[in-house]
């Protein structure tokens, strides 16, 4: 297995579920983060604008994450994190059939001292 040079930057592909859809984004930094139960993803990468073919799902990602420095993804939503050689085109896909029609019921967070 080849070792990376210290000057090389790592690129990660992060796949996660979000409101019944599957998001695939590329980023330079992924860590456990400071928020308990969340994955921290920083420095999102998007494809070059010089391409003639415009991918609508990647454009939707660019619009959704415009001006965002870092995102925090709940651990239970993360499907996979891969270290890759080159960034690809980010995309949004439909989730499993029927998953967009069912929303999990939120449960209350217990507050110490309150009953």
Which pTM value belongs to this model?
Answer: 0.70
pLDDT digits (tens, 9 = 90+) for 80-91: 999 999 888 888
| Mean pLDDT (the chain, rounded) | 79
Q: Which residue has the tokens 């070059």?
A: 48
Q: Is the pLDDT of residue 63 over 70?
A: yes
Give the rounded distance of the alpha carbon of 48 from its chain centre.
Answer: 19
What are the C-alpha distances in Å from 101 to residues 18, 59, 93? 13, 24, 15
């Amino acid at each position: 297995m080849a070792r990376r040079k210290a000057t090389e930057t790592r690129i990660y592909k992060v796949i996660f579920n979000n409101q019944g859809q599957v998001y695939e984004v590329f980023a330079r930094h992924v860590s456990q983060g400071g928020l308990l139960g969340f994955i921290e993803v920083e420095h999102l990468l998007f494809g070059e604008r010089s391409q003639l073919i415009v991918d609508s799902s990647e454009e939707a990602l660019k619009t959704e994450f415009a001006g965002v420095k870092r995102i925090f993804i709940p651990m239970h939503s993360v499907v996979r994190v891969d270290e890759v050689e080159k960034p690809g085109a980010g995309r949004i896909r439909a989730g499993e059939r029927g998953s967009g029609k069912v929303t999990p019921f939120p449960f209350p967070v217990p507050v110490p001292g309150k009953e």
